Amino acid sequence: MARVNTLRYGRGVVPLLTGAYFLTPLVCAMAFSIGAGVPGQSISFASYTGIFAAEGFIDSLTMTLKLAAATIALVLGLLVPALITVRLAAPRLRRLVEIVCLLPLVVPAAALVAGISAVLRWGPDHFPGTPLFNALVALQNPDFPLVLVLAYALVALPLAYHTLDNGLAAIDLRVLVEAARASRANWPRTLVHVVLPNLRQALLNTAFLTLALVLGEYTVAALLGYQPFAVWIVVISGSQAQMSVAVSLLGLLVTWVLLLIVAAAGRARHPKEIS
């Protein structure tokens, strides 16, 4: 009986310790952002009410959301057809594809940026007045730097690969495709109406992970000289430390809400599927 009570109390202590481990820094950050315990300051929510009026907030957030949307589209557009093709037509290449997708894990972000910077400097010096020169200039457009989309897609590949690969492993892809083809559905229709609906949870998870990565990525953007959301937070921390903490907390809250939405969307079933 004593052992049962010990196990029962143990199961209660572990969640409490885990919750304290994660919540204590958040509570401290919240207290700092409103001025609680800060010498010479009274409690105020000015750091929260002034976020939207802060210089650069809207521009940096808008750029980051655009980059996230483009990165999600690029990652899914590359990986979904590739993984489906490998599973159906070239299973021997699966290991090679996995190795390629996992390579960004062993390449530090600083090394990745150094390589990208070298290419961006090398091209204009050797191909002035050519379409390649114009393409390199377009990649570095400060309003929408496509070079960041390419870099973020590389960084997101390992997580996206495992998420999509697990989603494909959970369904009988070959049977689904053969049934659709037997019903005279062409390949685009098979992909859109048969395969993708069965990968809904994996697609949502991949999109969420990529969005979270783009929202929080700092190293690549800062070294390349751009100022998306994460870089903007660090820049204002020097002059408006409380606001930078407040923005970080709000970003964390939004990420949690998006995670709950993704989880709910993955569990929800379309009315036709229920019937």
Domain architecture of the chain: domains with CATH: 60-266 (1.10.3720.10)
Residues 1 and 210: beta-carbon distance below 8 Å: no
pLDDT of 2: 54
pLDDT of 271: 44
d(CA 116, CA 220): 10
Give me the sign of the Cα torsion angle 83, 89, 94, 100: negative
73: which residues sit within 8 A by CB, 6+ positions away?
none
d(CA 193, CA 187): 10
pLDDT of 226: 92
d(CA 25, CA 40): 22
Per-10-residue mean pLDDT of the chain, 275 residues long, equals: 58 79 85 76 80 87 92 94 91 91 88 87 75 83 91 93 92 87 84 88 92 90 91 87 87 82 67 41
pLDDT of 84: 92
- The pTM for the full model equals 0.84
**Cβ neighbours around 79 below 10 Å, total:** 21
pLDDT of 4: 52
pLDDT of 125: 72
Q: Which long-range contacts (CB under 8 A, 24 or more apart) does 233-238 make?
A: 235/56, 236/54, 236/56
DSSP the chain: -HHHHHHHHHHHHHHHHHHHHHHHHHHHHHHHHTTTT-TT-----HHHHTTTTSTTHHHHHHHHHHHHHHHHHHHHHHHHHHHHHHHHH-GGGHHHHHHHHHGGGGS-HHHHHHHHHHHHHHHHHH-TTSHHHHHHHHHT-TTS-HHHHHHHHHHHHHHHHHHHHHHHHTS-HHHHHHHHHHTT--HHHHIIIIIHHHTHHHHHHHHHHHHHHHHH--HHHHHHT---HHHHHHHHHTT-HHHHHHHHHHHHHHHHHHHHHHHHHHH---HHHH-
* Distance set, CA 254 to CA 104, 206, 259 (Å): 27, 17, 9
d(CA 254, CA 251): 5
Q: 233, 202, 200: which is closest to 64 by C-alpha? A: 233
pLDDT of 214: 92
d(CA 169, CA 160): 14
Rg (CA), the chain: 24
